[in-house]
């Protein structure tokens, strides 16, 4: 098992893409593109994401007392790339809702989950963050999601464009 082939195998699992934001100590804004977001629990309402131990944002993420998970829409590919670049000025040109002592909410996201830390776990070369959802807001339009699969952004075809699964077409 090489790292490369293992990464490739993991890439067979299609995901959405989110930008996880936080407020660091000193009020600095933190943001990272994240495909490791997932749901965990309904009661209590918990979600998770895992952060690379090499990420510059990790110390601030570990100290943060608020997070927001911004689930990206199909037309936010450029933002996804912008928030995946280490040490860059991720926040220039971003439209976001900023409120005191809250994590930034990125405009145009499909949904925002506003969270607080619940637990951190060892995840090997990543740290697993479990966060408790305190509030959420679903965007006004049912926009298409940004999908990440086999190392690339993809489109999710609409239900109506797909071959019907059942009944199967019968050819005599
Ligand atoms: C589609 C996509 C998904 C990503 N998912 C994750 C992830 O789940 N966890 C993670 O730590 N980094 C992930 N990254 C990489 C981070 O976004 C990137 O390393 C980080 O923003 C670097 O910022 P920093 O070093 O300034 O903190 C992903 C990048 C892309 C393009």
Give backbone dihedrals phi and psi of 152, rounded to 5 degrees, phi first. Answer: -140, 155
The residues near 52 (Cβ < 8 Å, ≥ 6 apart) are 58, 125, 126
Minimum-distance ligand 1 atom for the alpha carbon of 148: 1
Q: What is the DSSP string of 15-75?
A: EE-EEEEEE-GGG-EEEEEES--EEEETTTTEEEEEEETT-TTHHHHHH-S-EEEEEPBGG
Q: Measuring CA to CA, which residue among 102, 96, 121 is closest to residue 46? A: 121
Q: How many CA atoms lie within 13 A of 164 on its CB side?
A: 5
Domain locations in the chain as residue ranges: 19-150
Per-residue pLDDT of the chain (172 residues; tens, 9 = 90+): 899 999 999 999 999 999 999 998 777 899 999 999 999 999 999 999 999 999 999 999 999 999 999 999 999 999 999 999 997 789 989 999 998 889 999 999 999 999 999 999 999 999 999 999 999 999 877 799 999 999 999 988 765 565 665 565 555 5
CATH architecture of the region 19-150? Roll (2.30)
Q: Measuring CA to CA, which residue among 87, 146, 137, 131 is closest to residue 107? A: 137
Minimum-distance ligand 1 atom for the alpha carbon of 153: 1
- Residue bearing the CA closest to ligand 1, atom 23: 86
Instruction: Name the pTM for this structure.
Output: 0.92
Minimum-distance ligand 1 atom for the alpha carbon of 31: 21
- Reading the block at residue 11, the tokens are 């890439």
Q: Does the beta carbon of 129 sit less than 6 angstroms from any atom of ligand 1?
A: no
Centre of ligand 1 to C-alpha 164, Å, is 36
């Amino acid at each position: 098992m090489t790292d490369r082939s293992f990464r490739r195998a993991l890439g067979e699992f299609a995901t959405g893409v989110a930008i996880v934001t936080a407020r660091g100590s000193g009020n600095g804004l933190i943001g990272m593109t994240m495909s490791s977001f997932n749901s965990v629990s309904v009661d209590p309402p918990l979600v998770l994401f895992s952060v690379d131990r090499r990420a510059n944002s990790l110390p601030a993420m570990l100290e943060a007392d608020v997070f927001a998970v911004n689930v990206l829409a199909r037309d936010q590919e450029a933002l996804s790339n912008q928030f995946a670049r280490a040490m860059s000025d991720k926040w220039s040109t971003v439209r976001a809702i900023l409120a005191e002592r809250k994590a930034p909410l990125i405009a145009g996201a499909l949904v925002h989950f506003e969270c607080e830390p619940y637990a951190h776990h060892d995840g090997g070369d990543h740290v697993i963050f479990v966060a408790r959802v305190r509030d959420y807001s679903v965007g006004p339009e049912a926009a298409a999601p940004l999908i990440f699969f086999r190392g690339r952004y993809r489109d999710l075809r609409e239900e109506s464009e797909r071959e019907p699964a059942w009944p199967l077409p019968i050819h005599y």
